[in-house]
A and B are shown apart, each in its own frame.
Chain A
Amino acid sequence: MTDIARMQSASIVPPAPRIERVPLILFGALAIAPFLAALSGAEGYVLSLLCRVMIFGLAALSLDLILGYGALVSFGHAAFLGIGGYAVGILASHGMEDALVQIPVALAASGLFAAITGTISLRTKGVYFIMITLAFGQMLFFLATSLAAYGGDDGLTLPSRSLLAGTTILKNDRVFYGFCFICLLGVYVLAREIVSSRFGRVLRGAKENPTRMEAIGFHPFRFQLLAYVISGMMAGLAGVLLANQAEFISPSFMTWQRSGELIFMVVLGGLGSLHGAIVGAAAFLLLEEFLPEILHLASFMLSSDLQSRLVENWKMVFGPVLILIVLFVRGGIMGLVPGGRHD
């Protein structure tokens, strides 16, 4: 018996992971983009747009960790963007402008908020979980609007981007781009590591069949809570970057519509692949940015009056396009790429 097991165990180690194309192309493109941007003549615009793509990619990726691997539909994830953003804004307004202070504070605050709200919301399931995370998100939104000392409704303009170890290098757009890139890549690698770890396997198992997991001795709640905290901290980091990118922070960072957009990005890109979430965020933001122009070009045969109305109401096209992709492309954009899904 044991001999058979030993003989077989040699062949049961899965083959070495091949290098996956999609993340390689994705991060490769993001790495060379700044060089192309320098040639485009609109470097500032391109860099700022791509920074937003990476920051929202990071936030969507953090959501995919619990949504795609844990089936936890958090409808309040934008709250963590807000926590990260306000950590930067509030600390900066008290003279603490260094990212090396702001980031740990943002992560700690996001983690704490996730631990408290997660402990409560994870006791519910399905639509109740969605509603309770939404409620916590809204609570934080209204708290932010009432923070008169920090701008209240109007928000807070940052004096400048965060310092990095006392230097002002993040004020350079290229350096800031590189900083966002490293954050995104680092979190992506970390998340990949987590989902294939022992912990990640329990999380994935609890998504498939929680009763089965309990019957072999796992309490899914604890694993889901830890995943929720990790996810919240990742989104908090995205909030730090977003505040720096915009050099501004306001309650609009954490509206429930923003939470909805994050879910949409994940579903659009394809649930449960991590890089799919980044692709989804990119598709969402780039469509939002360029759809009016595409419509303008595509409707050249219409009268100029109709043309301008169409362009003005580009969201009438944007919505259906997103819905059609989600409806007809199983697995989102990743579902279109052969081998785009790795599990």
Chain B
Amino acid sequence: MTKPLLELRNLRKNYGALIVTDDVSLSVPEGEVHAIIGPNGAGKTTLIHQISGLAPSGSGQVLFDGQDITGLRLHERARRGLARSFQITSVLPGFSALENVALAVQARSGSSYRLFGNAAREPDLNGPAMECLNLVGLGSRSHVLAGLLSHGEKRQLELAIALATEPKLLLLDEPLAGTGHEESRRVVEVLRRLRSRTTILLIEHDMEAVFSLADRISVLVYGRLIATGTPEQIRHNPEVRAAYLGEEEMA
């Protein structure tokens, strides 16, 4: 087995008396597509926040690429190759789709303290940005303001932004949330293309998508991981079936 790219060791977090992350340990090897599923309120988004650095952890460790990153903040983790998308779409609405992505390219190439020279005209930024847009299927929409894109297109744009940072690990918080059937088919298609480029850890409610994409799945219930395994193992795990009983039909 390849070395783990991401390793969570006994991660905990609580809001007052409410324990939202309860002793979570998990390791994601390089190249894997790992999905975290669980009923609403299981603490999935909080866990992603803890991994990405948006929310501090109560105790435990987050190891990324062999280094302890528990104390690092969101932007510091991003610089180390940890990119994330948000459950509620987060783009720069007043920037064109291309500029949204070009900014992410800019973040990893050269100094951003340059006060001169028009950044919007730098081919070294626009070229790779365009490549990412094409990869997610937004090439023809590069000049549209991000705020004017459809919801599904914004989700695709978020993927392009994350990709442009050349991440080692892509953290996706419900990439299909709120998308229509056609849109979600397109995003799944994009994710399938990305799996050869980067390691992916995603949260998703769409079971069909999860079971078709993921190499391994972890199930989070009330902040605790109750099972980790291949889609086949998870499908037949009695504890998982119990947790989901009456919630959703397993695919």
Contact = CB atoms under 8 A, between A and B. Distances in A.
Contact of A214 (B74, B93, B122, B134): B74
A215 B127 contact: no
A12 B116 contact: no
B15 interface: no
A14 B122 CA distance: 10
Given A193-B116, A211-B54, A6 B127 contact: yes
Band of interface residues on A: 20 to 34
B189 to A, nearest CB: 15
B161 A194 contact: no
Which of A194, A198, A200 has the most chain B CB within a 10 Å cutoff?
A198
B94 interface: yes
Given A199-B113, A216-B83, A216-B164, 19 more contacts: A1-B134, A5-B128, A5-B134, A6-B127, A8-B130, A12-B143, A193-B116, A196-B119, A202-B106, A205-B95, A208-B93, A209-B91, A214-B73, A216-B78, A217-B75, A218-B75, A218-B107, A218-B112, A219-B73
Interface in B148-199: 161-162, 164-165
A71 to B, nearest CB: 12
B134 A13 contact: no
Nearest to B128: A5
A223 interface: yes
B84 interface: yes
B242 interface: no
B67 interface: no
A215 B81 CA distance: 10
A167 interface: no
Given A198-B119, A215-B52, A216-B83, A8 B111 contact: no
Band of interface residues on B: 35 or more
Contact of A8 (B73, B74, B139): B139
A216 B86 CA distance: 12
A315 interface: no
Contacts of A9: 123, 126-127, 130
A209 B130 contact: no
A42 interface: no
B117 interface: yes
B130 A200 contact: no
A330 interface: no
Contact of A196 (B74, B75, B118): B118
Contacts of A204: 94-95
